[in-house]
Amino acid sequence: MPNNKRKNQGNKNKEVTMKPSNEKDTPIQDYEDDDIEEMQEADLKKLIRTLRSSQKQILELQKSLMDKIENLSRENEILRRNQNETKQLVQQETVIVTEVKNSIDQMKSTIESLTNRMGEAEERISDLEDREQERIQSDQRKEEEIRILKHIVGNLQDIIKKPNIRVLGVPEGMEREKGVEGLFSEILAENFPGLEKDREILVQEAHRTPNKHDKKRSLPRHVVIKLSTVKHKEKILKCAREKRQITLRGSPIRLTADFSSETLQARREWRDIAQVLRENNCQPRILYPAKLSFVNEGEIKTFHSKQKLKEFVATRPALQKMLKDVLHTETKKHGHQYERR
């Protein structure tokens, strides 16, 4: 009995020791096999519940840890994939950068080549421009030389033709009977009887011009009479101007001085201006070789060029008003000729 009492007291002591203050907060304790045998049934159930709760917590913790491990594995896989993709991207970027560098180098090389070629082209263009400028200057010098030569030739022709009289309007074939000289003598006898008897008036040469007759030409060729002196030519032309109407066998003809083509063109350019001056009683005349003469405010004015005439007209309001239209037309005509050149 005393032993049983001691055992019961020991169990009570142990019971007191094991009784928790709160079941939920009861910590898991380590029990020996002898202790478990001495426990009461209620305490065992409580211990089992505690173990089950702990086991559940452990399982939940284990599951949580597995989930975390799985998440970490997925994240690690994602990181690994990202690393691989990053490596691929880096490799691709490296390839692209290399290609870009190569392209830039090629572009630099191309630009350098183009720059060199442009430099060469600019030098060639500059050389061509210099040559063109030299050619233009050479052409201008040649044109000026040609103009001077034409002027000299024209002057020589005018000097040669100075004793000549040109007869216009003589029908073709009329000279067959008496010859060209005979026709000229007939003209003098019909229009200037006093001159026809002048023995000093000698004809050195007489011919049609051009030498070959063009059947398509509607007007007859001119007759050129070369006299022995200029004085006789001027005397005959003066008489013709005074008589105004010159005829041959009753048909009207004209007597004019014989000029070079250059001088004829220069004289024609005065024609419109002379016509306006004639309509305003300014007594215009075209003097040898191509000068315009007319009366203005009681004085005889003579001009060698239209530029000199324009400068003079600018100082005479009445004359400026008279010649305004014809001078403006002449300016436009020369402007169009310059544009065509």
Nearest to 170 by CA among 158, 186, 157: 186
Whole-angstrom distance, CA of residue 158 vs CA of residue 164: 9
On the question of pLDDT at 7 being above 80, the answer is no
DSSP helix/strand/coil, 282: coil
Tens of pLDDT, residues 273-293: 999 999 999 899 888 778 899
pLDDT on residue 51: 84
- Please give the tally of structural domains in the chain: 3
Over its C-alpha atoms, the chain yields an Rg (Å, rounded) of 66
Whether 213 and 267 share a structural domain: no
Q: What percent of the chain has pLDDT over 90?
A: 14
Whether 237 and 285 share a structural domain: no
Whether 188 and 204 share a structural domain: yes
Per mean pLDDT, which range of 28-32, 165-169, 233-237, 284-288 is the poorest?
A: 28-32
Q: How many CB atoms lie within 10 A of CB 115?
A: 10
What are the backbone dihedrals phi and psi of residue 97, each rounded to the nearest 5 degrees, phi first? -60, -40
Domain boundary among 234, 258, 282: 258
Domain boundary among 109, 140, 171: 140
Tens of pLDDT, residues 125-155: 999 999 999 999 999 999 999 988 888 888 8
Cβ atoms of 202 and 225 within 8 Å: the answer is no
In a domain, 224, yes or no: yes
What are the backbone dihedrals phi and psi of residue 138, each rounded to the nearest 5 degrees, phi first? -65, -45
pLDDT on residue 143: 92
Tens of pLDDT, residues 194-234: 776 777 788 888 888 876 655 666 788 899 999 989 998 89
In a domain, 289, yes or no: yes
Cβ atoms of 183 and 174 within 8 Å: the answer is yes
Say if pTM beats, i.e. exceeds, 0.85. Answer: no
Nearest to 282 by CA among 264, 269, 259, 298: 298
Whole-angstrom distance, CA of residue 231 vs CA of residue 251: 27
Give the residue numbers spanning the domain of 129: 89-140
CATH label of the domain that carries residue 199:
3.30.70.1820
